[in-house]
Amino acid sequence: MRLAINIDHVATLREARGEVEPDPVAAAQICELAGAEGIVCHLREDRRHINDRDLRLLREVVKTKLDLEMAATEEIIRIAIETLPELATLVPERREELTTEGGLDVVAGRKQLKKTIERLNEHEIEVSLFVDPEAAQIEAAAEIGADKIELHTGAYARARSEDDRRMLLDQLRNAARQASELGMGVNAGHGLNYANINGILSIGEIEEVSIGHALIARAVFTGLEQAVRDMLELIRCG
Ligand code: PXP
């Protein structure tokens, strides 16, 4: 299973102070040096974290694979076509949400989504649809020509009891099998962390996971000790 890292939260921290650091472009390079097999970023309509400059530079520096998460709006489709990421993951987007909340309604939006897939495919951008693990959504994704789906793992990640966890993992397993039988690639993401990744590893059809929050959150703590030491050295030796 491949690991693609979502670096949005590095930009979230930068935007919290309106500063130039931390730079998500530098973060992407470190992720690749450490072995990440893809870099994911979400250019939101409100540019709350990743901005146009980041995307332009990410396209220049990312050597593995750039996955642009995006809403299927005219402005962002145009930017995707200019940027040419290897993969575009279409997600629903609402301004008031903290993060992407649910999967796409492919059944209801099939006409517009099909057109978007065709436009992006024309420019050799593969298209993945972020969907809940529901049979009707997956069937519709295949019908309109999606190259891949990304299964929304949020409900599984939030499961409180072992019974719920098992049931939600089975849903993901069935959805992954269905998508694979329909000829689509299968990615998964949202809420995955160091404690729940194990279940996902048991689903052979999932080719790639997209992980952001848990990984950046851990980096704060695994990097904090060194950051303190570096400052103390300056203070004591300065
Ligand atoms: N996949 C999609 C479609 C997302 O919107 C997000 C959140 O940006 C992720 C994966 C990563 O989720 P998390 O930050 O919880 O790891």
Is residue 96 predicted with pLDDT exceeding 80? no
Residues labelled catalytic: 42, 69, 190
Q: How far apart are CA 102 and CA 21, in angstroms?
A: 30
Nearest-atom number in ligand 1 for the CA of 213 is 14
Q: How far is the CA of 92 from the centre of ligand 1 (A)?
A: 12
- Tell me the average pLDDT across 119-132: 98
- So what's the pLDDT on residue 238? 77
What is the identity of the amino acid at 77?
Answer: I
Hey, whose CA ends up nearest to atom 6 of ligand 1? 190
pLDDT of residue 93: 82
Q: 100 alpha carbon to ligand 1 midpoint, in Å?
A: 7
Q: What is the pLDDT of residues 83-93, one digit of tens each?
A: 999 999 999 98
Examine the pLDDT at 97 and tell me if it is beyond 90: no
Question: Residue 231's CB: how many other CB atoms inside 10 A?
Answer: 10
Average pLDDT of the segment spanning 143-168: 97
Model confidence, pTM: 0.96
- Domain 2-237 CATH assignment equals 3.30.365.10: no
Q: Is 189 touching ligand 1 by the criterion CB < 6 Å?
A: yes
Cα(183) to ligand 1 centroid in Å equals 24
100 lines ligand 1 (CB under 6 A): yes
For residue 99 and ligand 1, the question of a CB distance below 6 A is answered with yes
95 has a pLDDT exceeding 70 = no
Residue 129 CB–ligand 1 contact under 6 Å: no
Give the DSSP letter string of the chain.
Answer: -EEEEE-HHHHHHHHHHT-S-S-HHHHHHHHHHTT-SEEEEE--TT-SSS-HHHHHHHHHH--S-EEEEE---HHHHHHHHHH--SEEEE----TT-SS--S---TTTTHHHHHHHHHHHHHTT-EEEEEE-S-HHHHHHHHHTT-SEEEEE-HHHHH--SHHHHHHHHHHHHHHHHHHHHTT-EEEEESS--TTTHHHHHT-TT--EEEE-HHHHHHHHHHHHHHHHHHHHHHHHH-
What confidence category does residue 98 fall into, taking pLDDT thresholds of 50, 70 and 90?
confident
Q: Look at ligand 1, atom 3, and give the residue with the nearest C-alpha.
A: 130
CA of 124 to the centre of ligand 1 (A): 24
Q: In this predicted model, what pLDDT tens digit does every residue of 157-178 receive, in sequence order?
A: 999 999 999 999 999 999 999 9
Supply the pLDDT for residue 101. 75
Is there an atom of ligand 1 within 6 Å of 93 CB?
no
Q: Which atom of ligand 1 is nearest to the CA of 215?
A: 16
pLDDT grade, residue 94 (50/70/90)? confident
Length of the chain equals 238
The closest-lying atom of ligand 1 relative to the alpha carbon of residue 216 is 14
